[in-house]
Amino acid sequence: MLDTLQVTHEGTSDVKRSRKHTLIREYELLRMNNGESISDFQKRFTHLINHLVDLGRKFEKEELNLKVLQCLDRSWQAKVTTIEESKDLTSLTLAAFFGNLREHEQKLHIFEENEQKEKKAKGVSLKALKSTKGKEVCEESSSEDSEAENFNLLVKKFRKFPPKASFGFGSLLHSNPPKVC
């Protein structure tokens, strides 16, 4: 009776072997998805490892740590290199290893948030005069406006200056040219 329950619950040895090979293949192809957090990746990785251990697969600490490093996406390459050069992967537990990666991920998020705040703070507010139906209206525009628009507005305002006031050559510019015979 116990054997029947065990076969019903776990399956036959052929089913176990097939499941084990499927999970091993999944383990070999495992990669971190784009935009996936370390916590989410850790859950997927741990779930897969636990199923393989249940089916009799044994892992060393170093093997698991190296596999995690191999699975990380390109944005983690600097951290991967640092860990490979400075850490002893044989003594580092998987929990401590993922803890280090989560800490680094949090630092990256803080850095990105600070960058975003700095970009917003650098947004200088410019006052621009726009003429609407002969009247000039003062309008605030952010630094996100294109430089071409700002340049065109500057040129437009510059052209409104009378030549006499700006250069003192007004009489030469507006006088009739001499006749050539």
pLDDT at 132: 53
pLDDT at 169: 52
pLDDT in tens, 66-122: 999 999 988 888 888 888 888 777 888 889 889 989 999 999 899 989 988 888 877
pLDDT at 40: 95
pLDDT at 133: 55
pLDDT in tens, 42-51: 999 999 999 9
What residue has token string 């116990």?
2
Rounded to two decimals, the pTM is 0.57
What residue has token string 């949090």?
106
Could you give the angle at which helices 94-122 and 38-54 cross, rounded to 10 degrees? 160
C-alpha span between 70 and 138 (Å, rounded): 58
**Binning pLDDT at 50, 70 and 90, where does residue 152 land?**
confident
Domain map of the chain by residue range?
A: 2-101, 126-174
